[in-house]
Structure 1
Amino acid sequence: MTSRDVLFVAVGLLTAASAILAVTSRRVLHAGLWLVVSMGALAGCYLVLGAELVALVQLLVYVGAVVVLVLFALMMTRSGTTPEDAPPGVRVLSAVVALAVTVLLGGTLVATFGWDGVAVTGPDGSAVGEAVFGTWVWPFELLSLLLLAALVAAVAVATAGKGRVK
């Protein structure tokens, strides 16, 4: 076992542990914060595997946008600060379904590719960067404006009627 394998296992365990904590946290805000750790550690897994572009996209899109938007929504609505109790049966059923999906996905990947390494083919990071910031730059920028408008609208809706001078 090489040092790279040990590092991958360590980061993978961090990812799995924080994902479990994200699912089992009683406070929604804490679950969102554990989700940040889980997604960041998953980017670390991609880095160890040598997929730098995928790791960067993971950080930018999921950690930098989706999870931060969820946390922002929780903070604006002031929800997620009190413990939420789910019935014990729901928690057990959720754990069983998560374990079944993990076993199914892992079994499918091992049956399809085996334990051997798989050669990755396709464009490198510079070709993808040229496509995104060359051909697709205007749709990319329009999407960012749409997300900004949604964020401003969320702030307006969340603060409507609060702090208004009479």
Structure 2
Amino acid sequence: MSNPTYTAIFYLFAAITVFSAAFVVFSRNVIYSAFSLLFTFFGIAALYVFLSADFIAVTQVVVYVGGILVLLLFGVMFTNNIMDTDLKTDVLHAIPGTFLFLGILAALLFTFYTTNGWMPSDTQLQGSVVERIGFETMSRYVLPFEMASILLLAALIGAAFLARYDNGGTNEH
């Protein structure tokens, strides 16, 4: 009962996501891997849109593309002596990676073929998804939300402590 156009677009985004993710893993050039990671993140965001998870799709684009990928690209491009070094990575451990891939693929296929609940539900969510997430975060899940914020604050303080300039033990400023 699905529209063939939607199915074709879904498979197009799934193929873009899988092929760009494979290029990230198998590319020997770090910059090419980072740019193909961009297509992987956008493909995942498009798949979230197909799942009617608009909030998660926007969060995917803002956090991963807007934050992590840009940080990764700046880190790679602003590395000292970038023109003098060969930014190539070696694809190592192909045999254990292949076994891990086959095990995960077998687990996913087992889950796919033994689960009966893949059809969409007839019940529709009332109201905005963002409104519902905000309500649940500030009512039932306020303690985990605050614990996550304290954990992130501790990680930020730890990162600032580790990144501070160490001038050999003297306190001259």
Partner AA of 1:83 in structure 2: K
Secondary structure, counterpart of 1:77 in structure 2? coil
Q: Does 1:125 align with 2:130?
A: yes
Q: Which residue of 1 aligns with 2:13?
A: 11
> How far apart in 2 are the matches of 1:74 and 1:113?
45
CA contact (8 A) 2:26 2:91 kept: no
> How far apart in 2 are the matches of 1:60 and 1:26?
27
> How far apart in 2 are the matches of 1:121 and 1:99?
37
Q: Does 1:102 align with 2:94?
A: no
Q: Does 1:29 align with 2:28?
A: no
CA contact (8 A) 1:19 1:38 kept: yes
Give the gaps of 5 or more residues in structure 1.
Answer: 161-166
> How far apart in 1 are the matches of 2:56 and 2:109?
20
CA contact (8 A) 2:10 2:50 kept: yes
> How far apart in 1 are the matches of 2:43 and 2:89?
26
Partner AA of 1:64 in structure 2: G
TM-score, normalising length: structure 1? 0.67
Partner AA of 1:49 in structure 2: L
Moved more, 101-110 or 121-130: 121-130
Question: What is the CA distance between 1:131 and its match in structure 2?
Answer: 5.9
CA contact (8 A) 1:28 1:81 kept: no
Question: What is the CA distance between 1:25 and its match in structure 2?
Answer: 0.6
> How far apart in 2 are the matches of 1:40 and 1:14?
9
CA contact (8 A) 2:20 2:40 kept: yes
Give the gaps of 5 or more residues in structure 2.
Answer: 168-173
Q: Does 1:49 align with 2:54?
A: no
> How far apart in 1 are the matches of 2:86 and 2:137?
39
> How far apart in 2 are the matches of 1:143 and 1:133?
18
Match 2:88 to one of 75, 83, 101: 83
In angstroms, what is the RMSD of aligned CA positions? 3.9
**Identity within the alignment, %:** 25
- Larger-Rg structure: 2
Partner AA of 1:57 in structure 2: T
Secondary structure, counterpart of 1:53 in structure 2? helix
Question: What is the CA distance between 1:122 and its match in structure 2?
Answer: 7.2
CA contact (8 A) 1:7 1:48 kept: no
Q: How many aligned positions are there?
A: 154
Match 1:38 to one of 19, 37, 40: 40
